[in-house]
Chain A
Amino acid sequence: MDFAFDQTQLAFKEAIIKFAQKELNDNIETRDKKAEFNWDGWKKLAQQNIFSLPVPEEYGGINADILTTILTMEGLGYGCEDNGLIFAVNSHMWSCIIPILEFATEEQKRKYLPKLCRGELIGGHAMTEPEAGSDAFSIRTTAVKQNGKYILNGEKTFITNAPIADLLIVFAVTDKSRGFAGISAFIVEKGKPGLTVSQDMDKMGLRTCPLGYLVFENCEVPEENILGREGAGAAIFNSEMEWERSCLFACHLGVMERLMEKSIDYAKQRRQFGKPIGKFQSVSHKIADMKVKIELSKLMLYKIGWLKMQGKKGTMEAAIAKLFVGEAFVKTAMDTIQIYGANGYMTEYNIERNLRDAMASTIYSGSSEIQKNIIASWLGL
């Protein structure tokens, strides 16, 4: 394995960090309280070519390789303190742009990708249903082909970006008898008759990222809006999950690095019992544990990037990374609060929000338990 970064890649990461620190962090506490999406930040991210990173130039992208992309997302996580905005960006990229890039027809790519890259369209995907969470392929939403159209009926919930999305990749059953192989994906534009989109759902963390539910009632989708072919839904879903489990979690790695640096600074300047609290092993060991988690997270995430660059599959590696980074993110955020003590519990210190934001990382993109199932399955169990 070789994933040493060159100067260009490192400079790119540095540029993103500086951009994010300067442009994306204003009024984060207020936006978090009010659960407001940062529209201005979204536009700036588009201008910075973040959305177009993995997209070839002919579709409006900048064609960055995946290791550069992972490194950039890590930089974004480090520099941007608005974890909700980051979450919205990742959903847009890995569960809308990537499936279109990998599975769409030439016509669909030319129609949607340039606008998605420029941030003029906001994307998301709709898989989860009230009765189909971890058991993702047990969805009940149906798509019946009739007179050159698909008629969609069903409900989707916990859909990232739903209240603001212009475009959704919607998964539905086209052939119930075939189980997971009977699931197909559709590109659904907002405003379709028969599609109801909820307002933002209130939640513990990631409050600046809009989340909602969808109801399809005889919603007609043109036949040409199928993504891939009938029955390709599982392949599309698995593909985007592999991207999400590496690139989204690279952002979390960046946040962990920032929290560790904050913890070190605080442990050096905060004095108790006549010396800096960092001189107490109960504190310094927590920070040492953070460093271990960060370094191991890097190795796993960069390995996935390297595997993908070699054209190899990384299903189990992505599950390991997702499991490890998700759990590490929560623990790091929790330990940062513990090191800051009562100050860390106070909103003004800008620490506690990270724990609220981190909590869902062991749930979304397949819970920690599901990742263990994948790993066990890969081991023949």
Chain B
Amino acid sequence: MNVREELEKFILNELAVDQDIHSIAPDEDLLMQGIIDSMGILKLSSFMEEKFGVKVTDMDMVPENFQNIESLTEFISSRM
């Protein structure tokens, strides 16, 4: 399973449906671009727990981990 691809797919299909984008660069700032909002971060956390079997605590839901697909991938790898 390619974590990066799975994340991009989820974000495009579930969180960025109202934005006219078809791909996300690994270092693209998801927060600054408004791709992840306060609800999106919760949905993405649940997705990560279900898809990759990692535990995402409330403490983990901070900008550093959710900044871009690169930081999300690193976070997941560190917990797998």
Contact = CB atoms under 8 A, between A and B. Distances in A.
Interface in B23-47: 31-32, 34, 37-39, 41-43, 45-46
Contacts of A182: 63
Contacts of A231: 62-64
Nearest to A229: B62
Contacts of A8: none
Interface stretch (A35-43, A235-243, A263-271, A292-300): A235-243
B54 to A, nearest CB: 12
Contacts of A144: none
B30 to A, nearest CB: 9
Interface residues of A, number: 26
Chain A: interface secondary structure?
helix
Contact of A178 (B31, B42, B59): B31
Contacts, number: 58
Interface residues of B, number: 22
A78 to B, nearest CB: 30
Contacts of A377: 39, 43
Contact of A228 (B45, B55, B59): B59
B74 interface: no
B18 to A, nearest CB: 11
Given A313-B45, A313-B46, A235 B59 contact: yes
Which of B38, B43, B64 counts the most chain A CB atoms within 10 A? B38
A313 B49 contact: yes
List the 6 shortest-distance A-B pairs measured between CB atoms, nearest first: A235-B61, A239-B58, A231-B63, A181-B63, A180-B38, A181-B31
